[in-house]
Amino acid sequence: MDRVVHPIEQESFRRLRARLDTSHFPPLTRAVVERVIHSAADLDYASDLVMDEGRLEKAHAALHAGAPVVVDVEMVAAGITRRETVCRLRDAEAGPGLTRSAHAIRLAYEQVGPGALWVIGNAPTALEELLILDVSPALVIGLPVGFVGAAESKAALRESGLPAVSNVSEKGGSAVAAAALNALLYHPLSPSEETS
């Protein structure tokens, strides 16, 4: 993806790297960590985020091969500016034992099927619903924020064994979830990915 980086963004990343050594992270992990930190100006994400480089490589390949990207809220979609996303929250309805966010995840899965990248930055109940469904994702970026259910839903994501980016604490949100996806979207293809 050809992308012109604004001088302010370049300077922001220079300052980030001056304050935090990220050189020990593998390439995609480093990209996600740095872009999430950049989006939140929060260096603590370096030790709070949890992901696996091998799984990020597979998700990166799937993303660049055109796998659908599903988001839980329009705020996440707004942060992903160089890729179409699926968000079904406007079509969803709450019901007994089912939040609107959870229903939106059901509707999105009916639309996209397996193999999508799921970006959850707002609603823990959306992540919980995703874990109930057998979505066979390329990746789940599970970074919902909040004091009720956020840390627990992310712990359940890590325990599920699904390929994921999550964090341990209660923090997260739309901006950091979009940033994690953008890190994969902006990262260049390796020579082996370009020829496959």
**Mind telling me the catalytic residues?**
38
Query: CA 3, CA 127: separation in Å to the nearest integer?
Result: 31
CA angle 112, 117, 122 (to 5 degrees): 100
Query: CA 105, CA 99: separation in Å to the nearest integer?
Result: 10
- Is the distance from CB of 153 to CB of 102 less than 8 angstroms? no
Helix 124-132 × helix 150-160 angle, to 10°: 30
- What is the number of residues in the chain? 196
Sorted by sequence, the CB contacts under 8 Å of residue 100 that are 6+ apart come out as 89, 92, 93, 94
Q: Please, what's the largest Cα pairwise distance for the chain?
A: 51
Tokens standing for 195? 């020829």
Tokens standing for 67? 């796998």
Sorted by sequence, the CB contacts under 8 Å of residue 148 that are 6+ apart come out as 124
